Amino acid sequence: MYLLSAKSHISGAANPCPSDHIKHFGSLGQYYPDFLLKMVNYKYPNFTCHFMSIDADTTAAITAAFSKYARGYSKKDVDDLMDMMDSDFFGFGSGPDEVVTSLSELRSQLRRDFAQCGDLSIDFGPMKMAREGNAAWCAGDCTISAEVGDEMLRLDGRMSAVLRKSGDKWLFAHIHFSVPDRGQEVGRSFPERK
């Protein structure tokens, strides 16, 4: 029905928009979409709505999953993150060797990520979502800030994910984080190497 997602970001901080409020706005917004947008943006200025075929309960649950992921990653909590993963997980990171084909490889990748930096945070921008049965797919902007050596690095990238519902939990079955090619100019479909 309506997608409720972070306008500025979904960060490691506690989710500022309770799921029961999302459900309430979702049912009311079915008949008064302009009212829905105004009320959500007034009460929760960090959130915005996108109209897509996804129900309010799913939106609330997936938004909560991304918030939990952001908190776990920012705290470098490997066990907490692994608890959110589907048993058939696979994915990609931004590095050429960051190809993960199993949960054990994901655990090793997370440990490497966390060992190579000090302070760390991850923030998600507006997230597009859709759902069919027990599967949901999402994509949006993602920023990772990491203290490496004496400097703070910022990766402005994109993240796509597939989640699978298991019982009452939405688990991450696939994640792909990428950074746009800096050698490719806006308006060009392919990078030009000099």
Yes or no: say if 100 and 94 are a contact pair by the CB < 8 Å rule: no
pLDDT digits (tens, 9 = 90+) for 130-165: 999 999 999 999 999 999 999 999 999 999 999 999
Calpha distance 115→119 (Å, rounded): 11
Q: Is the Cβ–Cβ distance between 68 and 84 less than 8 Å?
A: yes
pLDDT confidence of 188, banded at 50, 70, 90? confident
Determine the pLDDT at residue 95. Answer: 92
Tokens of 122: 């991850």
φ, ψ for residue 164, nearest 5 deg: -120, 135
Q: For residue 190, what pLDDT is reported?
A: 82
Q: How far apart are CA 84 and CA 72, in angstroms?
A: 10
Cβ burial of 96 (10 Å; 0-12, 13-18, 19+) is exposed
How sure is the predictor about 10, in pLDDT bands with cuts at 50, 70 and 90?
Answer: very low
Higher per-residue pLDDT: 23 or 153: 153
At residue 44, the pLDDT reads 53
Could you tell me which residues come within 8 angstroms of residue 96 by beta carbon, excluding any fewer than 6 positions away? none
Whether residue 27 is predicted with pLDDT greater than 90 in this model: the reply is no
The full set of domains in the chain, from first to last, is: 2-178 (3.10.450.50)
Looking at per-residue pLDDT, the higher value among 65 and 3 belongs to: 65
Average pLDDT rounded to a whole number, residues 1-30: 42
Strands 85-92 and 169-178: parallel
pLDDT of 21 above 60: no
Per-residue model confidence (pLDDT) at position 46: 54
State CA 138 to chain mean position distance. Answer: 7
Q: So what's the pLDDT on residue 8?
A: 35
